[in-house]
Amino acid sequence: MSNPLRVTVWNEFRHEKIDPKIAAVYPHGIHEAIAAYLREQPGLAVRTATLDEPEHGLTEEVLADTDVLTWWGHMAHEKVDDAVVDRVQRRVLAGVGLVVLHSGHYSKIFKRLMGTTCNLKWREAGEKSRLWVVEPGHPIAAGLGQYVEIEHEEMYGERFDIPAPDTLVFVSWFPGGEVFRGGCCWNRGSGRIFYFQPGHETYPTYYQPVVRQIIGNAVRWAAPTAGPRVVYGRSAPLEPLAAG
């Protein structure tokens, strides 16, 4: 194995500090639940970063040392400094992978990269969520069955105001009758982005083995690829041009 894939797990980490019910589910924060799984996976070097750290834990140095960033936020999207959003956007366009989780659909960085409102329907009623794998050959679906079930989740429903994904991997179904594009892939610049629906803060979703497996698959899929250096601007011809 060559160099490890460097993963930064970012979490807003506010609900867990102020709501005892949520702290009971994620005593060390959602980021630690996700990072704990990723740290056990071969070939990954995992760190965490949270909103209340200086520069939200996403300094130039940290981002320069990050291949894939995962993002969970909800109640404090507006507290994320625009300068940090600019910085993350630049890194994604340069090839860093971004895995956006659940309510991260409304984060500044996801809205910036999508260019749409990223709004959706929602309902918090502890419903079952069933995610159908609609692209079984996709690396993010590796090792899964036809569908994945989560016993209790927040309903997210269409319309989800996103640009049409480059690849749709999961379609989510809810008992209230709604469907949702619950696993979506995009390319932006040289970077890969995956959005994944599950992970409401009051449910133990990020301990469920199959959810962890999908996040692990997504992190590996989103890893930068060793493509050619991108060159822009005035360009000399590669062949002699005919006079005139």
Residues making contact with Zn ion (CB under 5 A): 103, 154, 200
Q: Which is nearer to Zn ion, 43 or 175 (CB)?
A: 175
Q: How many CB atoms lie within 10 A of CB 39?
A: 15
At its nearest, how many Å lie between Zn ion and the CB of residue 103?
Answer: 5
At its nearest, how many Å lie between Zn ion and the CB of residue 14?
Answer: 13
At its nearest, how many Å lie between Zn ion and the CB of residue 203?
Answer: 9
Nearest alpha-carbon partner for 176 in 131, 133, 122: 122
Q: Is 54 left (phi over 0), alpha (psi -120 to 50) or beta?
A: beta
Nearest alpha-carbon partner for 171 in 126, 135, 142: 135
Q: In whole angstroms, give the CA distance from residue 64 to residue 84.
A: 13
Q: Which is nearer to Zn ion, 182 or 191 (CB)?
A: 182
At its nearest, how many Å lie between Zn ion and the CB of residue 153?
Answer: 8
Cα distances (Å, whole numbers) of residue 177 to 10, 130, 155, 174, 206: 32, 11, 10, 6, 24
At its nearest, how many Å lie between Zn ion and the CB of residue 11?
Answer: 13
Q: Which is nearer to Zn ion, 57 or 104 (CB)?
A: 104
Q: Which is nearer to Zn ion, 67 or 154 (CB)?
A: 154
Nearest-10 crossing angle of helices 209-221, 30-39: 70
Q: Which is nearer to Zn ion, 12 or 154 (CB)?
A: 154
* Closest residue to Zn ion: CB criterion: 200
